[in-house]
């Protein structure tokens, strides 16, 4: 099956810093989503982005489907950005498969 690798596994930032999270996947995909899991376990969808670039406030994402990677950019980080960021992908007829996640800690 398809493999999803995320890096880095852990990231520690000071408030106001910028960061880039990476997701590599081993085959072509129908769908790619970035999620933020808060400390209570809620998975919040950030982007549906199988290709191209999207922006939502301080967050943006780019997926280069031909090279099988996606990047999530967080600018001017805030303590509320802390949590685990997951990249997840699926192919035709299959369910969403998750990477191992990046744990982000933002301190004030």
Q: Which residues bind another protein (CB under 8 A)?
A: 30-31, 33, 35, 40-43, 45, 48, 50, 86, 88, 90-101
Contact (Cβ atoms closer than 8 angstroms) between residue 32 and residue 62: no
Considering the complex, what minimum distance in angstroms separates the CB of residue 55 from another protein? 18
Considering the complex, what minimum distance in angstroms separates the CB of residue 91 from another protein? 7
* Cβ proximity to another protein, 17 vs 96, nearer residue: 96
- What b-and-e string marks burial along 68-94, b requiring 16 or more CB atoms within 10 Å of the CB? bbbbbebeebeeebbbbbbbbbbeeee
CA 3 remoteness from chain centre? 15
* Cβ proximity to another protein, 65 vs 97, nearer residue: 97
Considering the complex, what minimum distance in angstroms separates the CB of residue 101 from another protein? 6
């Amino acid at each position: 099956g398809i493999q999803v690798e995320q890096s880095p596994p852990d990231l520690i930032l000071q408030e106001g810093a910028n960061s880039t999270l990476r997701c590599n996947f081993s085959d072509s995909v129908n769908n790619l989503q970035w999620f933020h899991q808060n400390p209570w376990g809620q998975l919040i969808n950030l982007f549906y982005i199988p290709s191209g670039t999207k922006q939502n406030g301080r967050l943006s994402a780019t997926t280069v489907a031909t090279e099988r990677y996606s990047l999530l950019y967080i600018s001017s980080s805030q303590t509320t950005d802390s949590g685990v960021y997951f990249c997840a992908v699926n192919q035709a007829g299959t369910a969403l498969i998750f990477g191992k996640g990046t744990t982000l800690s933002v301190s004030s």
